[in-house]
Amino acid sequence: MSEVLSARGLSKKFGDAAALQDASLSLAPGEFVAVLGASGSGKTTLFRCLTRLTEPDAGEIHLGGKAFHPLSGGPLQHARREIGVVFQQFNLIRRRSALANVLAGRLGVASCWRVASNVFSRDDIERARAALAAVGLERQTDQRADTLSGGQQQRVAIARALAQESRILLADEPVASLDPDTAAQVLELMHALCKTRGLAILCTLHQPHLAAKFADRVLEMRGGRIA
């Protein structure tokens, strides 16, 4: 199976502290990979380096076999569309509707004038609605984000990544702030999207039992290294 994301020898220091040391991994379409590790083990730094929100000090990153690590400017922004990111704290605009939040996933695709005027095409709106339907929130389209439950807010965040039409989803502790039942439901949704859409998912978790239940492979991080 071809790799949609691969990294080799990623390293990152903050001062004298090594947050990431010679980390390598690969991810294939339709594969759900979980990353376990204690706080401070390097999981978040790994994710930030993979998206180049933080620049690694060393190493290579490839998306679909093409070098991602040397890109800059427009080519970097274009390539980043391949990676959708879901965070622990949802990162939604609380006073905006679920649909408006999902449309933010179209910002990398929509024309500049539409983004500037916050006027999206019918196609963008239909794609956003379809993404909400895919996560079971078609009835909450016009509901404000701050009136949704925690699990629903995380589903909106996942729908936003789907609207971006990324091939890769990086989920950084996506269920850490949810109760156990809701956490399992969100991971079931992510697993289903992975298998039905061929979405490649890399997900950091604290709960080994959830990783064992939903992941195809489990990686463990210790001291900035992938064990």
In whole angstroms, give the CA distance from residue 173 to residue 204: 5
Give me the mean pLDDT over the 106-128 stretch: 69
**Helix and strand counts by DSSP (H, E) for the chain:** 8, 10
How does pLDDT run across 43-84, given as a tens digit for each residue?
A: 999 999 999 999 999 999 999 999 999 999 999 988 998 999
Q: In which band, very low, low, confident or very high, does the pLDDT at 105 lie, cut at 50, 70 and 90?
A: confident
Give the pLDDT of residue 118: 61
Position 156 scores a pLDDT of 94
> Residue 109's pLDDT is what?
57
pLDDT of residue 35: 97
Kindly indicate the confidence band of residue 117, based on its pLDDT and cuts at 50, 70 and 90: low
Position 10 pLDDT exceeds 70? yes
Decide: 226 and 23 in contact? Cβ < 8 Å.
Answer: yes
For all residues of the chain together, what is the average pLDDT?
91
Query: Which two three-digit tokens encode residue 55?
Result: 């620049």
**What total number of domains does the chain contain?**
1
Residue 34 half-sphere exposure toward CB, CA atoms < 13 A = 22
**Residue 79: CATH number of its domain:** 3.40.50.300
Give the least confident one: 106-110, 163-167, 173-177. 106-110
Domain that residue 121 falls in:
5-226
Residue 15 has pLDDT above 70, yes or no: yes
The values of phi and psi at residue 31, to 5°, are: -110, 135
